[in-house]
Amino acid sequence: MKSKKSIIQSAVSTLELEAAAILNVARNINDDFEKVVSSILQGKGRVIVTGIGKSAIIAQKIVATFNSTGTPAIFMHAADAIHGDLGMIQVDDIVICLSKSGNTPEIKVLVPLLKTANNLLIGMVGELNSFLAEQADLILNTSFEKEACPHNLAPTTSTTAQLALGDALAICLLECREFNEADFAKYHPGGSLGKKLYLKARDLALANEKPSISPTASVKDVLIEISKNRLGAVAVIDSANHVLGIITDGDIRRMLENNNSIAGLTAEDIMGKSPKSIQFDALAVDALDIIKQNNITQLLVLEQNTYFGIIHLHDLLNEGIV
């Protein structure tokens, strides 16, 4: 069993080796990288990313990043390619082949077939004197000093270099396409990430009741309205649906603490007269910011100057926005 000190040192050593590999990849960025970006931007087809072993796993991640940032891509396993999957490659597609050595048997079989089809072949390769590097039209250099594995066998540093270079390529393409948050939301509609980008305040408010009361309403009517709608608050509005204030559970408690008798009190007497609000077409994540900054649990939603509804902190929690 290793000592605590040696375990920590092992982790630090691995991370330092992999960090150095990424820096080396950065130093090796050259004109071929720019040509790859330009070719993909100008291309009419998709990007086919292929590899074998651990490189295949990295290829799948690169494909996922491409697709989510506006570059249509498909993963093709190098071994499956020679058993029928080559059929997924269309005339205008660009192929990126990942390989640590560039000399594996599957790569040596696959590359000539790819060259025959005349698709642009990009080799993301760690050995520049390899079969893949010699056959590729353009090279993305992921050469490195050694694997983090003490036996220099398990792909560790090499796959980190591939992953980092794939990210650099995806982000460069994203920036060239001026791919923005609205575009990102189209490809990420599910989960908390997507909801932060597209869910609006109106979407949450419409799912709730719309509690409201007139300024002359009695305290009893206020309590009934708050209890009925289970939002812990009610908006005080005038005849034109303009918000005059808000009454929350907290306002009710403070009223009871400060008054021996509630007879004759109206909604106008106990309401908060400067309620926090948000426009109905604002993002739900902006509503969360207002709620957090003001340490409140309910937020009024307005459509221009009129009352639209209420958002409760629980709505944001339920949607996974928090």
Q: Which pair of tokens denotes residue 135? A: 């056959």
CA 219 to chain centre: 46
- Compute CA 142 distance to the chain's CA centroid, rounded to the nearest angstrom: 26
Q: Is 314 annotated as a binding residue?
A: no
Task: Give the helix/strand (H/E) hosting 225.
Answer: helix 219-229
- Rounded CA-CA distance 97/40 in Å is 14
77 is in an annotated binding site: yes
Question: Per the annotation, does 137 bind a ligand?
Answer: no
* DSSP assignment letter at 200: B
Q: Left if phi > 0, otherwise alpha if psi is -120 to 50, otherwise beta: which for 102?
A: left
Cβ neighbors of 175 (< 8 A, separation 6 or more) are none
The CA-atom distances, in angstroms, between 258 and each of 244, 249, 261 are 22, 15, 9
Strand arrangement of the beta sheet that strand 277-279 belongs to: 277-279, 298-303, 306-312
Q: Which residues are within 8 A (CB) of 106 and not within 5 positions of it... i.e. 6 or more apart?
A: 52, 78, 79, 82
Is 142 labeled as ligand-binding? Answer: no
Separation CA 74–CA 59 (nearest Å): 9
Dihedral sign, Cα of residue 29, residue 31, residue 35, residue 37 = positive
Sequence ranges of the binding site: 77, 83, 216, 269
Sequence ranges of the binding site for Zn(2+): 77
Sequence ranges of the binding site for substrate: 77, 83, 216, 269
